[in-house]
Amino acid sequence: MLHTQRMTARMEGEFVVFLIGMRINRPLAVHKWLPIATAMPKMIKELYANPGMGLLHHEMWFSRTTILLQYWRSMDQLLAYASARSAAHLPAWQQFNKAIGDDGSVGIWHETYVARPGSYENVYVNMPEFGIGKAGILVPAKSGLQSAAARMKGE
């Protein structure tokens, strides 16, 4: 549903913003980057099938540099998933290190941020539910939430 009014998203408590992706350095080396490109959708499917693991929502963009934006309930849950022997991530990471390691064909990156009330703000205009607006609760950006400074107060 497209929201034409100014909206802002609210999250209860602390949450984690996790950015992860890959960069295809050698586009013709399909045998190197394709297994990585297909591993992440399997992980996302696994995470949505098991909401207790902590993934709240994701967005993904695919190009030479792939970006996967994830929202997690907690850092503990993200770290637990990353190291769980029974989950899809650890074997995929081990396979990357075995097949690619530091040969330069495919780059892997991630950034992790812990967001607390009062440390983030957002606004959406003429947008469907997106990002934090899909991970949290969308509310009209009015009644003290009109400006970025007001939204940063986290109230």
98: left (phi over 0), alpha (psi -120 to 50) or beta: alpha
- pLDDT over 70 (residue 154): no
pLDDT in tens, 84-117: 999 999 999 999 999 999 999 999 999 999 999 9
Give domain limits for the chain: 15-115
- pLDDT over 90 (residue 153): no
Place of tokens 């586009």: 27
Q: Distance between CA 42 and CA 140 in Å, rounded?
A: 35
Do the beta carbons of residue 140 and residue 14 sit within 8 Å? no
Q: Which two tokens stand for residue 70?
A: 């994830």
pTM of the predicted structure, to 2 decimals: 0.92
> What are φ and ψ of residue 18, in 5° steps?
-120, 120
Give the CATH number of domain 15-115.
3.30.70.100
